[in-house]
Chains A and B, each alone.
Chain A
């Protein structure tokens, strides 16, 4: 097959790694999960920086690693572009020499090809600068140019945006996304940020404690999470409690710490109720009950943070939840930490996931 195939088991310090996936040529897959899930280890195994047991890595039908057949190519024999966390640019070399490190040939030719790559990412004017003297966003572009310098058959990126400040991150993410699509090689991105993963990748593998727990597009994972873990990672509000049927067609969940929510999903026993932050609206506590929304929780505002023209309101019910509202609503309600409000959402916006 054309693309990357990975199948490996390995014993890490606290967990057992056991993953199997393939990435087609020209497609980008993100591995998302909390730190310590084994994400970076997967990249190191593909690159040959770590030898698993057992393991198999093949690229475009070419075997890089097969522990059963005793095949194990050295890292330098695998055509693999690796962008490290914090970028790992050589501090003692100029930018163009960093890029040229992976290119062989006479110096003039190496410099020419380095400059062409740097120009492609708009940083050719920094060719003679040292990595220590350029900005984080520039470093990221240099690192990408360096990773592509060897014409890799696979591109691996470890937390490519996490060392950038929030303002640079959005723009760098969009640029990186289009650059990755232009390469045409199978790409694996590791990140702990679900939003970043949806921005960069066509498909997402959610990884937890060494295993891939769900795989799919970002919107699919957010809409149909297989577990509370995936739901929370995808940015939903997750409330835990005990479910019991409430005739004729509803399920009632008694939340841990108090309060009840309703959902049309059939369930009984311990469940996680999931709702998107933008489905939750906030009302003054003394507002009369009206409308069709069945779920009403008395909550206290814990934090208020503006993201663009939206406001994320952290709430305690006492279980934590988050509502996303407009700046206008925030002003109208006079939301500040410590204020009591009622969180309201429809039963149909509530999915129940067995725990």
Chain B
């Protein structure tokens, strides 16, 4: 065997190892779950509630992230100003924060005894142990995934395209909407997929900040954990459902990113 084919073989073996290790546990969920168990677990009211809550809260968090985060990412990507790189690092900080730390941090900020606790209480807003708290926790942990990706996508848009739009009579806002967003479309949808995936799987921060009350704050990951010690089969079935739902959501977002109106299919 020549050295070149030996190296190619090494690359191939590495890929096989990675692929096997990463997919085997997921495959195991499905081999351990009979289709009957899947249907039964969905029939159980608590599981359905958890699934519905997960979808509702993760979608709400995603909307908040995209609406509030897209202009911020555009600003960071297209303007050069003092403190820009510091701001980018601050935004990325939750990425490396352990979920338990994120939960404590949220409690310290928005909990009843937190810095903004009394202000929120005066305004009649309670986050802890409420569905709204789940949304806050998901937004906090998932936003950096979208912001980072969106900022990179906007930075990759040719500045001449934006300038061309301006010389053709477009205001800065119109250039943003008609040129920057479509040209960054694929990167933006990829960021949405990442953030949504992170929000769907969120566990630690939600548990600490919002608790695990069925129907109110118990999302699918929390429901799986609650069943884990008492009813392993049901936990396994719920896990299978979460895998299917997550995969379907990610796939549809990725397909959306290829849509022609978002600049998909362009070189």
B183 within 8 Å of A (CB atoms): yes
Q: For the complex, is A149 an interface residue (Cβ under 8 Å from B)?
A: yes
Encoded as 1 (CB less than 8 Å from any B CB) or 0, chain A from 142 to 155 comes to 00001101100000
- Report Cα–Cα, A78/B166, bound state, in Å: 10
In the complex the two chains form, is A92's CB within 8 Å of B167's CB? no
Any B CB within 8 A of the CB of A190: no
Q: Are A132 and B266 in contact (CB under 8 A)?
A: yes
Q: Does B112 contact A (CB under 8 A)?
A: no
Once bound together, how far apart are the Cα atoms of A176 and B171, in whole Å?
A: 29
Q: Which residues of B contact A147 (CB under 8 A)?
A: 167
A85 at the interface (CB under 8 A from B): yes
Docked-complex contact B179 and A90, CB < 8 angstroms: yes
B166 touches A49 (CB 8 A): yes
**Contact assessment for A75 and B263 in the assembled complex, using a CB-CB cutoff below 8 Å:** no
B160 / chain A contacts, CB cutoff of 8 Å? 84-86, 88
Q: Is the CB of B169 within 8 A of A76?
A: yes
Is there contact, CB below 8 Å, between A101 and B168?
yes
Q: Does A82 contact B167, Cβ atoms closer than 8 Å?
A: yes
Annotate A70-87 by CB proximity to B: 1 below 8 A, 0 otherwise: 000011101011101110
Judge if A130 is at the interface, Cβ distance under 8 Å.
yes
Instruction: Give the contacting residue for A80; candidates B165, B167, B183; CB below 8 A.
Output: B167
**B115 interfacial by beta-carbon distance below 8 Å:** no
Q: Does the CB pair A101–B165 fall under 8 Å?
A: yes
Contact of B248 with A by CB under 8 A = no
Question: Hey, which chain B residues are within 8 Å of A285, CB to CB?
Answer: none
A119 to chain B, nearest CB (A): 20
Give the distance to chain B from A95, nearest Cβ to Cβ, in Å.
Answer: 14
- Give every chain A residue within 8 A of B163 (Cβ-Cβ): 44, 47, 49, 75, 82, 84, 88
Residue on A with the closest CB to B181?
Answer: A92
Residues from chain B with a CB closer than 8 A to the CB of A76 are 166-171
**Binary contact track B239-267/A, C-beta < 8 Å → 1, others 0:** 00000000000000000000011110011
Docked CA distance A151–B36 (Å): 70
- Annotate A264-278 by CB proximity to B: 1 below 8 A, 0 otherwise: 000000000000000
User: How distant is B234 from chain A, measured CB to nearest CB, in Å?
Assistant: 47
B158 CB–A CB distance under 8 Å: yes
In the complex with contacts A76-B170, A101-B170, A102-B169, A84-B266 CB distance below 8 A = no
Bound: A130/B182 CA distance, A:
14
Q: How far is the CA of A117 from the CA of B171 in the complex (A)?
A: 24
Further 20 A-B residue pairs, CB within 8 A, beyond A47-B163, A82-B163: A47-B166, A47-B167, A48-B166, A49-B163, A49-B166, A76-B170, A84-B160, A84-B164, A88-B163, A90-B165, A90-B183, A91-B183, A91-B267, A92-B183, A92-B263, A101-B165, A102-B169, A104-B169, A146-B168, A149-B168
18 contacts between A and B (CB under 8 A): A44-B163, A47-B163, A74-B171, A76-B170, A80-B167, A82-B163, A84-B160, A84-B163, A88-B163, A89-B164, A92-B182, A102-B169, A104-B169, A132-B267, A146-B168, A147-B167, A150-B168, A150-B169
B residues sitting closer than 8 Å to A (CB atoms) are 158, 160-161, 163-171, 178-179, 182-183, 185, 260-263, 266-267
